[in-house]
Amino acid sequence: MAIELTIADQLAHLHLNRPKALNALSFEILGQLNTTLGKIEEGIEAGQVRGVFVTGEGEKSFCAGADITELMGRTLMQEHEGARFGQSVFDRLAALRVPSVAVIHGYAFGGGLELALSCTFRVATAGAKMGLPELKLGLIPGYGGTQRLPRLIGQDRAMDMILSARTVDATEAERIGLVTRVVDSQDPTAVGREFLKPYLKHGLIALDMAKQAILRGMQTTLAEGLRIERDCSTLAFRSGDATEGMSAFLEKRPPVFKDQ
């Protein structure tokens, strides 16, 4: 399997393991990713998973994008269906109820960066290189890049990155908000675990509602976003975890959330 899943200490570790092709994503691998996301969703509902981190095998690459060899042989209809499937898998990752982080160690190009853009956060190790080089191939990003990148870094910077197809280094990526931070560590697993620590202490309902309010609100008007926020905050307010959180504050003790 090119997609490996380990669940330990409340974290799901999703690992791309196809180093000979710099962890490029074939359609078979996208299928494996889809199945693995189903297992992560089960882990979340079972209370075993509170965060997800994604890494790539090897020193050189997080993920070099869609498998270009495979793309070459595809018909127009197959490609349209492929893009629809790729987008749905990345949407599924984006919609997980818990925070996720892509640890970008080495290259994240094309579909590899689009995979990272579907995570809640991105962290780069020093020396990481990112870009959407599809225009060099006569293509355009097809797995969410033209939509998620401008929402993250703004229209102007996204236009520049996509139309120039240029490579952005870790320092620039942090400056323009493409990654949350750059770390010196060259151990992606340790980076993923460390990054997610601050989110683990919160209850699932509040994490999920906050994440949904932000992501859904970013897709709409301010007025509609505020309505989404009211709905999500009311749902959180009605939870046992909210009663527990407020009681714990008043009783000057740490809360014990039960995700209900």
Interface ranges with ligand CO8 (CB under 6 A): 21-22, 24, 64-69, 79, 83, 107, 109-111, 133-134, 137, 139, 141-143
Closer by beta carbon to ligand CO8, 21 or else 95: 21
Closer by beta carbon to ligand CO8, 68 or else 159: 68
114 noted as active-site residue: yes
Which of the residues 28, 70, 81, 134 is marked catalytic?
134
CB of 134 to ligand CO8, least distance (A): 5
Which residue reads 């949904």 in tokens? Answer: 212
CB of 22 to ligand CO8, least distance (A): 4
User: Do residues 92 and 26 lie in contact, with contact meaning Cβ atoms separated by under 8 Å?
Assistant: no
Closer by beta carbon to ligand CO8, 83 or else 215: 83
CB of 192 to ligand CO8, least distance (A): 22
Alpha-carbon distance 10 to 207, whole Å? 14
What is the identity of the amino acid at 97?
A: R
CB of 65 to ligand CO8, least distance (A): 3
| Residue 143, CA distances (Å) to 33, 139, 185 in order | 14, 12, 29
Closer by beta carbon to ligand CO8, 15 or else 50: 15
Closer by beta carbon to ligand CO8, 133 or else 192: 133
Alpha-carbon distance 63 to 104, whole Å? 8
| Residue 175, CA distances (Å) to 63, 110, 115, 157, 179 in order | 22, 20, 20, 11, 8
Alpha-carbon distance 202 to 97, whole Å? 12
CB of 128 to ligand CO8, least distance (A): 12
Which of the residues 59, 114, 172, 194 is marked catalytic?
114
Q: What are phi and psi of 12, to 5 degrees?
A: -100, 125
CB of 30 to ligand CO8, least distance (A): 11
Closer by beta carbon to ligand CO8, 80 or else 230: 80
DSSP per residue, 162-231? HHH---EEHHHHHHTTSSSEEES---HHHHHHHHHGGGTTS-HHHHHHHHHHHHHHTTS-HHHHHHHHHH
Query: What is the SS3 string spanning 29-43?
Result: HHHHHHHHHHHHHHH
Closest CA to 169 of 83, 236, 107, 85: 107
134 noted as active-site residue: yes
Catalytic residues: 114, 134
